[in-house]
């Protein structure tokens, strides 16, 4: 079976977003592992869609992924506006802790790669305290770099492959994590490789997430901006507004589904 064809993608701007919800994603992951398949997964918020609109290489990375998940209420709104509604959003912040809970007593191994020094280890310890049977054999936080050296890259791949995890969670921020997974995917001895941005810090309780009412009403961005105004200003007030004319243009030309 061609796993890339099993989940329909709805076109939002230049990117096909997988029409799948959180529970279906968890079931899909478990099926991939049971049947010993191998997939690449991208968690894609609005800013990634916009970056890909001006970057053909990044667009190829997202559109060729087996799953390109809807990370953000604005993408749900856009899909509905375009007449191609999505089943729901699947954020890394939701998927990582829910999947860990789902497989806590199963023979499924996970590897945590990325985030700041100590964060992945904190998350490993948090999960092990919550779920004593969970299998997280190793973690690694590489030194910050725009592009890793060949030595560092090989070190990461070797650490991952020595453990042979079923699922590799990568927290290097987007799109850096998506580039890294795409360029090293064939070398990784894993069933699932997925980039989840800042989900390590949030899942470990090191950073507080927006209240649930803000999440449901598309205001999580506002919460993040209040917390980190300097870092988030450009993303939310310069880049994000470009999303609306992009979707209106798509509506006019009535493009619906990735071919």
pLDDT (tens digit per residue) in 152-179:
999 999 999 999 999 999 999 889 999 9
Residue 81 lies in a domain: yes
pLDDT digits (tens, 9 = 90+) for 46-56: 999 999 999 99
How much is the pLDDT for 2?
Answer: 44
Asked if residue 224 has pLDDT above 90, the reply is no
Say what the pLDDT of residue 259 is.
47
Tally of domains in the chain: 1
Nearest to 203 by CA among 109, 114, 79, 138: 114
Domain-embedded: residue 185: yes
Decide if pLDDT at 35 tops 90.
yes
Within-domain flag for 162: yes
- Alpha-carbon gap, residue 86 to 220, rounded angstroms: 19
Q: Which of 22-26, 101-105, 245-249 has the lowest mean pLDDT?
A: 245-249
CATH number at residue 88: 3.40.50
- Residue 86 in tokens: 């999505």
Computed from CA positions of residues 124, 125, 127, 131, in that sequence, does the dihedral angle turn out positive or negative? positive
The more confidently predicted of residues 220 and 128 is 128
| Residue 233 included in any domain | no
Closest CA to 202 of 96, 75, 73: 96
257 inside domain: no
The pLDDT value given to residue 87: 96
Instruction: Give the domain range for residue 138.
Output: 8-203
Confidence of residue 235 (pLDDT cuts 50, 70, 90): low
Position 242 confidence tier, pLDDT thresholds 50, 70, 90? confident
Both structure tokens of 126: 């948090």
- The closest alpha carbon to 108, from 134, 138, 139, 140, belongs to 134
Largest CA distance in the chain: 53
- The pLDDT of residue 210 is 75
Digit-coded pLDDT (tens) for 78-135 = 999 999 999 999 999 999 999 999 999 999 999 999 999 999 999 999 999 999 999 9
Residue 240 pLDDT more than 90? no
With a cut of 70, say whether residue 256 has pLDDT above it. Answer: no
- What integer pLDDT is reported at residue 181 of this predicted model? 98
Asked if residue 188 is part of any domain, the answer here is: yes
Is residue 40 within 8 Å of residue 185, measured between CB atoms? yes
Q: Is residue 23 one of the residues assigned to a domain?
A: yes
**Cβ–Cβ contacts within 10 Å for residue 236, how many?**
16
| Eight-class DSSP state of 90 | -
Strand residues in 46-200 grouped as ranges (E): 67-70, 109-114, 135-140, 167-171, 192-195
Residue 217 belongs to some domain of the structure: no
State the chain's mean pLDDT as an integer: 90
Q: How far apart are CA 141 and CA 117, in angstroms?
A: 6
Reported as type and span, the H/E element at residue 222 is helix 220-227
**Residue 3's pLDDT band (cuts 50, 70, 90):** very low
Whether residue 175 is preceded by a cis peptide bond, meaning omega within 30 degrees of 0, is: yes
pTM score of the predicted model: 0.90
């Amino acid at each position: 079976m061609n796993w890339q064809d099993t989940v329909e993608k709805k076109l939002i701007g230049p990117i096909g977003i997988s029409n799948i919800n959180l529970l279906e994603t968890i079931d899909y992951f478990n099926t991939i592992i049971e049947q010993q398949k191998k997939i690449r997964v991208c968690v894609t918020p609005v800013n990634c869609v916009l970056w890909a609109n001006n970057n053909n290489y990044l667009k190829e990375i997202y559109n060729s992924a087996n799953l390109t998940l809807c990370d953000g209420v604005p993408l749900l709104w856009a899909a509905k506006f375009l007449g191609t509604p999505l089943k729901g959003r699947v954020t890394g912040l939701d998927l990582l802790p829910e999947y860990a809970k789902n497989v806590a007593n199963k023979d499924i191994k996970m590897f945590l790669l990325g985030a700041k020094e100590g964060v992945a280890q904190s998350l490993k310890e948090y999960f092990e305290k919550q779920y004593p049977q969970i299998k997280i054999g190793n973690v690694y936080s590489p030194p910050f770099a725009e592009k890793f050296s060949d030595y560092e890259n090989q070190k990461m791949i070797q650490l991952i492959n020595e453990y042979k995890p079923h699922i590799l969670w990568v927290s290097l921020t987007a799109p850096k994590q998506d580039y890294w997974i795409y360029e090293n995917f064939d070398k990784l001895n894993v069933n699932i490789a997925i980039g989840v941005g800042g989900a390590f810090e949030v899942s470990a309780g090191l950073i507080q997430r927006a209240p649930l009412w803000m999440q449901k009403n598309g205001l999580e961005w506002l919460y993040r901006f209040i917390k980190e105004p300097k870092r988030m200003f450009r993303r939310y007030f310069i880049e994000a507004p470009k999303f609306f004319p992009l979707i209106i243009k798509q509506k006019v030309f009535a493009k619906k589904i990735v071919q």
